Amino acid sequence: MAFGGSNHDDEVMSEINMTPLVDVMLVLLIIFIITVPVITHSVNLDLPEADNTPTEPTPDTITIAVGAQGQLHWNSTAVSFEELESRLANAAASQPQPPIHLRGDRAVPYEYVAKTMAAVQRAGIQSLGFITEPGS
């Protein structure tokens, strides 16, 4: 059975059959019609905006340690109570103020820790934190 209207089997068909090409093109067209809305669909989000202003450098934390007999240490330097008060006044005058961390020995009488806290408050330091060891 030959298509194209010719009854001779020996002749070569010189026309291109366009039906399969049209079928493939229609299938591709349908695929593109279906997928294009999915690709262009976007979710509306309220994204944050970045701010590139430089941040102010934070001052170093000052650690005040109170030993078992009431001796005082500014970071790792031994100081007297009068020297501690003058250093606290200098730290309070700087902007921004450095945070103060207070470390008390387990055996120190509370009187020494309270005197140190009062000196920090009198100097006008706004940030005072306590350093403790985690219990077992």
Residues of the chain with pLDDT under 50: 1
Strands (E), 5-131: 62-66, 72-74, 77-79, 100-104, 128-131
Please give the Cα distance from 130 to 135 (Å, whole number): 15
What is the predicted pLDDT for the residue at 4?
56
> Residue 115: which CATH number?
3.30.420.270
Would 78 be classed as within a structural domain?
A: yes
Q: How many domains does the chain have?
A: 1
Q: What angle do CA 70, 75, 76 make, to 5 degrees?
A: 75
Helix (H) or strand (E) holding 113: helix 110-123
Distance CA 80, CA 45 (A): 59
Model's pTM, two decimal places?
Answer: 0.56
Is 13 a domain residue? Answer: no
* pLDDT the model gives residue 1: 46
Structure tokens at 1: 């059975």
| 91 within some domain | yes
Task: State residue 6's pLDDT score.
Answer: 56
- What pLDDT was estimated at residue 54? 79
> Is 124 part of a structural domain of the chain?
yes
- Residue 90, domain extent: 62-131
What are the tens digits of pLDDT across the range 92-108?
998 888 999 999 998 99
